[in-house]
C-alpha cells in the first residue's frame, strides 16, 4: 500500500484538489461580497486590499487536502483489497507524477506572489448566499448582487 500512496494516491489527491472544487458566494462581515473556493471548506477568498490578490486560509487548506487524501486512500484501498490488485504501469506513474509536480510548481508560484496573503485560520464570519460545484475548466460567474441584500446585525 505504501507504493500505491506514492504512485497513485498523492498524484490523484493533488490533481483532484485542483480539478474539482466548490465555489461559495458570500457576504463577509464588514467586507465586500466575495467569492470563495474549496471543498469541503473554503480555503481561498478574494483579497480585499488589491484586485489581483487572494487570501489563503492554511488550516482549511490542510483539512481539504486531508479529506481528498482520505477519499483516494479509501477508494484505492477498497479496489486493491477486494476487487483487483492494482499494478501501476510506469508510463502512467510518470504521467501522474509529472502533472502533480506541475501543479505543485504552479502553487509555489502563486504562493510566492507578494499580493497574496496567508492566514492560519479564517478570522471573519460569512453569510453564504450561493454555492455550487465546478471543474477548473468551467468559468464561474459571480451571481447577480442585486437579488441579495445584506442583513445587518
Which of 27, 39, 21 is CA-nearest to residue 129? Answer: 27
Q: Residue 136 has what pLDDT?
A: 79
Helices 58-78 and 10-19: angle between axes, nearest 10 degrees: 120
pLDDT in tens, the chain (153 residues): 677 777 888 999 999 999 988 998 888 888 778 889 999 999 999 888 777 888 999 999 999 999 999 999 999 899 888 888 888 889 998 999 999 999 999 989 988 888 888 999 988 888 888 888 888 787 777 776 666 666 554
Q: Residue 64 has what pLDDT?
A: 95
Mapped onto helix, strand or coil, the DSSP state of residue 69 is: helix
0.95 exceeded by pTM: no
What cell does 44 get?
481561498
Amino acid at each position: 500500500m505504501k507504493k500505491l500512496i506514492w504512485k497513485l494516491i498523492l498524484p490523484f489527491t493533488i490533481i483532484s484538489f485542483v480539478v474539482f472544487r466548490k465555489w461559495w458566494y458570500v457576504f463577509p462581515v464588514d467586507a465586500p461580497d466575495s467569492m470563495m473556493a474549496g471543498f469541503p471548506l473554503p480555503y481561498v477568498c478574494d483579497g480585499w486590499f488589491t484586485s489581483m490578490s487572494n487570501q489563503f486560509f492554511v488550516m482549511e487548506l490542510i483539512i481539504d487536502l486531508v479529506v481528498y487524501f482520505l477519499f483516494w486512500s479509501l477508494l484505492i484501498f477498497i479496489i486493491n483489497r477486494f476487487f483487483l490488485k492494482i499494478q501501476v504501469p510506469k508510463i502512467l506513474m510518470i504521467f501522474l507524477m509529472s502533472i502533480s509536480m506541475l501543479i505543485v510548481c504552479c502553487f509555489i508560484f502563486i504562493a510566492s506572489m507578494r499580493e497574496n496573503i496567508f492566514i492560519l485560520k479564517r478570522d471573519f464570519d460569512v453569510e453564504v448566499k450561493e454555492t455550487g460545484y465546478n471543474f477548473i475548466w468551467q468559468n464561474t460567474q459571480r451571481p447577480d448582487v442585486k437579488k441579495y441584500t445584506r442583513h445587518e446585525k
